[in-house]
Chain A
Amino acid sequence: MNMLEIKDLHVSVEEKEILRGLSLSVKAGEVHAIMGPNGSGKSTLAQVLAGRDDYEVTSGSVSYEGEDLLELDPEERACRGLFLAFQYPVQIPGISNSYFLKAALNAQKKYRGEPELDAFEFSALLKQKAKLVEIDEALLHRAVNEGFSGGEKKRNEIFQMAVLEPKLCVLDETDSGLDIDALKIVARGVNQMRSPERAIIVVTHYQRLLEYIVPDFVHVLVDGRIAKSGGKELALELEQKGYADFERAAASV
Chain B
Amino acid sequence: MSTDLNTLEQAAEREYEWGFVTDIEQESAPPGLDENTIRFISAKKGEPEWMLEWRLEAFRHWTKMEEPTWQNVRYDPIDYQSIVYYAAPKSMADGPKSLDEVDPKLLETYEKLGIPLHERALLAGVAVDAVFDSVSVATTFKEELEKHGIIFCSMSEAIREHPELVKKYLGSVVPVTDNFFATLNSAVFSDGSFVYVPKGVRCPMELSTYFRINAKNTGQFERTLIIADEGAYVSYLEGCTAPMRDENQLHAAVVELVALEGATIKYSTVQNWYPGDENGVGGIYNFVTKRGKCLGNRSKISWTQVETGSAITWKYPSVLLIGDDSVGEFYSVALTSLRQQADTGTKMVHIGKNTRSTIVSKGISAKFGQNTYRGLVRINRGATNARNYSQCDSLLIGDKCGAHTFPYLEVRNSTATVEHEASTSKIGEDQIFYCNQRGISTEDAVSMIVNGFCKEVFRELPMEFAVEAQKLLAVSLEGSVG
Question: Which A residues lie at the B interface, using CB under 8 A?
Answer: 50-53, 70, 73-75, 77-79, 83-84, 86, 89-95, 100-101, 103-105, 107-108, 111, 143, 160, 164
B4 contacts across to A, CB distance below 8 A? 73
Q: Check if B150 is an interface residue, CB within 8 A of chain A.
A: no
Cα separation A53 to B442 with both chains bound (whole Å): 13
Do B440 and A75 have beta carbons less than 8 Å apart? yes
Q: Known A73-B1, A107-B440; judge A95-B429 contact (CB<8 A).
A: no
Q: What 9 A-B pairs are tightest by C-beta distance, nearest first? A: A94-B452, A104-B438, A95-B452, A74-B436, A94-B455, A78-B439, A108-B439, A90-B434, A107-B439
Return A1 CB to nearest CB of chain B, in Å: 24
Q: Known A52-B433, A86-B434; judge A93-B440 contact (CB<8 A).
A: no
Given contacts A53-B5, A107-B439, 18 further A-B contacts (CB under 8 A): A50-B437, A51-B436, A51-B437, A53-B1, A53-B433, A78-B437, A83-B437, A90-B430, A92-B434, A92-B435, A92-B452, A93-B452, A93-B453, A94-B456, A95-B452, A100-B435, A100-B438, A164-B438
A50 contacts across to B, CB distance below 8 A? 433, 437
7 sample A-B contacts, Cβ–Cβ < 8 Å, listed by A number: A70-B1, A74-B437, A75-B440, A83-B437, A93-B453, A104-B439, A143-B452
B438 contacts across to A, CB distance below 8 A? 78, 100-101, 104, 107-108, 160, 164
B434 contacts across to A, CB distance below 8 A? 86, 89-90, 92
Q: Known A90-B428, A107-B444; judge A75-B449 contact (CB<8 A).
A: no
Q: Check if B451 is an interface residue, CB within 8 A of chain A.
A: yes
Q: Known A78-B438, A103-B448; judge A51-B430 contact (CB<8 A).
A: no
A94 contacts across to B, CB distance below 8 A? 451-456
Chain B's closest residue to A74 (CB) is: B436
Cα separation A107 to B440 with both chains bound (whole Å): 6
Cα separation A83 to B441 with both chains bound (whole Å): 15
A143 contacts across to B, CB distance below 8 A? 452
Do B433 and A74 have beta carbons less than 8 Å apart? yes
Most A-side CB within 10 Å, residue of B2, B429, B433, B438 = B438
Q: Known A53-B433, A90-B431; judge A95-B439 contact (CB<8 A).
A: no
Chain B's closest residue to A85 (CB) is: B437
Do B2 and A53 have beta carbons less than 8 Å apart? yes
Do B449 and A73 have beta carbons less than 8 Å apart? no
Per-residue 0/1 for B340-377: is the Cβ within 8 Å of any A Cβ (1 yes, 0 no)? 00000000000000000000000000000000000000
Most A-side CB within 10 Å, residue of B428, B430, B452 = B452
Return A20 CB to nearest CB of chain B, in Å: 20
Do B436 and A78 have beta carbons less than 8 Å apart? yes
A89 contacts across to B, CB distance below 8 A? 434
Do A100 and B448 have beta carbons less than 8 Å apart? yes
B2 contacts across to A, CB distance below 8 A? 53
A90 contacts across to B, CB distance below 8 A? 428, 430-431, 433-434
Do A73 and B436 have beta carbons less than 8 Å apart? yes
Q: Known A78-B436, A78-B438, A89-B434; judge A95-B1 contact (CB<8 A).
A: no
Chain B's closest residue to A82 (CB) is: B437
Cα separation A80 to B434 with both chains bound (whole Å): 16
B436 contacts across to A, CB distance below 8 A? 51, 73-75, 78
Cα separation A107 to B428 with both chains bound (whole Å): 21
Chain A's closest residue to B430 (CB) is: A90
Cα separation A113 to B290 with both chains bound (whole Å): 50
Cα separation A160 to B434 with both chains bound (whole Å): 12
Return B10 CB to nearest CB of chain A, in Å: 16
B448-464 contacts to A, CB under 8 A, are 448-449, 451-456
B444 contacts across to A, CB distance below 8 A? 103, 107
A100 contacts across to B, CB distance below 8 A? 435, 438, 448
Return A115 CB to nearest CB of chain B, in Å: 16
Q: Known A52-B433, A143-B452; judge A75-B441 contact (CB<8 A).
A: yes
The one of A52, A84, A91, A103 in contact with B440, judged by C-beta atoms closer than 8 angstroms, is: A103
Chain B's closest residue to A96 (CB) is: B452
Return B1 CB to nearest CB of chain A, in Å: 5
Return A148 CB to nearest CB of chain B, in Å: 14
Return A193 CB to nearest CB of chain B, in Å: 16
Do B440 and A104 have beta carbons less than 8 Å apart? yes
B453 contacts across to A, CB distance below 8 A? 93-94
A75 contacts across to B, CB distance below 8 A? 436-437, 439-442
B139-175 contacts to A, CB under 8 A, are none
Do A92 and B439 have beta carbons less than 8 Å apart? no
B456 contacts across to A, CB distance below 8 A? 94
B451 contacts across to A, CB distance below 8 A? 94-95
Q: Known A73-B4, A107-B444; judge A92-B437 contact (CB<8 A).
A: no
Return B392 CB to nearest CB of chain A, in Å: 15
Return A84 CB to nearest CB of chain B, in Å: 5
Cα separation A139 to B452 with both chains bound (whole Å): 17
Return B455 CB to nearest CB of chain A, in Å: 4
Chain A's closest residue to B393 (CB) is: A93
Cα separation A94 to B448 with both chains bound (whole Å): 9
Cα separation A105 to B438 with both chains bound (whole Å): 8
Cα separation A79 to B2 with both chains bound (whole Å): 18
Cα separation A42 to B456 with both chains bound (whole Å): 40
Return A18 CB to nearest CB of chain B, in Å: 16
Chain B's closest residue to A109 (CB) is: B439
